[in-house]
Chain A
Amino acid sequence: DTGVSQNPRHKITKRGQNVTFRCDPISEHNRLYWYRQTLGQGPEFLTYFQNEAQLEKSRLLSDRFSAERPKGSFSTLEIQRTEQGDSAMYLCASGHRDRGEETQYFGPGTRLLVL
């Protein structure tokens, strides 16, 4: 257990529905990352926050995706109008950058299946 938690662990939804995932990072970490991982592939970066500011978004993050981190604590990732291609494992990681060094600690992920 890395100390990063994600909820729910599994989500099945119908195409066109909206879904929201939550990530609770390690409390002293100021950085929070979202990744997507499909079967047989490595994680792909989606977006990250430093405190409450969203500093970078991948081009993989279409307009249907939005992420927030109010108050620099937990974060939510929402997918609107889900498509079957959104089916994947969504991973959250937290990290702390100190003097240029950082390590990310991953949560258990939320597995999304869009029918």
Chain B
Amino acid sequence: AQKVTQAQTEISVVEKEDVTLDCVYETRDTTYYLFWYKQPPSGELVFLIRRNSFDEQNEISGRYSWNFQKSTSSFNFTITASQVVDSAVYFCALSEAENFVFGPGTRLSVLP
């Protein structure tokens, strides 16, 4: 069965600090996709990144970076120089075949 764990329920940082959100997944499939979504206070889920299981290259997009390690079944998300606008709930998700499973989310608060 699929499972996504986000052990950090809530994180608070001060603006300009770096922060890493952890995601650990379980799957028996060799082909799967991993995602990160942001849900700001307005409520609308925003797609951030998709990664397939065959591509372990780390990715950087502006202040965001993702570290995918199949050996530890982790897909961690780092925000560099955090800003107040980064405050949101962040969800990691796993897709295999026709199933799409979300983790419980990590609430990030960036304080000015």
A residues with CB within 8 A of B: 2, 33, 40-45, 48, 55-56, 89, 91, 93, 100-109
Contacts and interface: CB of A to CB of B under 8 A. Distances in A.
B43 A108 contact: yes
B interface majority secondary structure = strand
A101 B52 CA distance: 8
Nearest to A100: B31
Given A42-B105, A100-B31, A102-B33, A48 B98 contact: yes
Interface of B: 4, 31, 33, 35, 37, 42-47, 50, 52, 91, 93, 95, 98-105
Contact of B98 (A44, A55, A103, A104): A55
Given A101-B50, A103-B35, A45 B45 contact: no
A93 B52 CA distance: 20
A41 B4 CA distance: 13
B47 A105 contact: yes
A104 B105 contact: no
A40 B42 CA distance: 14
A45 B47 contact: no
Q: Across the A-B interface, give the 4 residue pairs with the lowest CB-CB distance, nearest first.
A: A42-B102, A106-B45, A108-B44, A43-B102
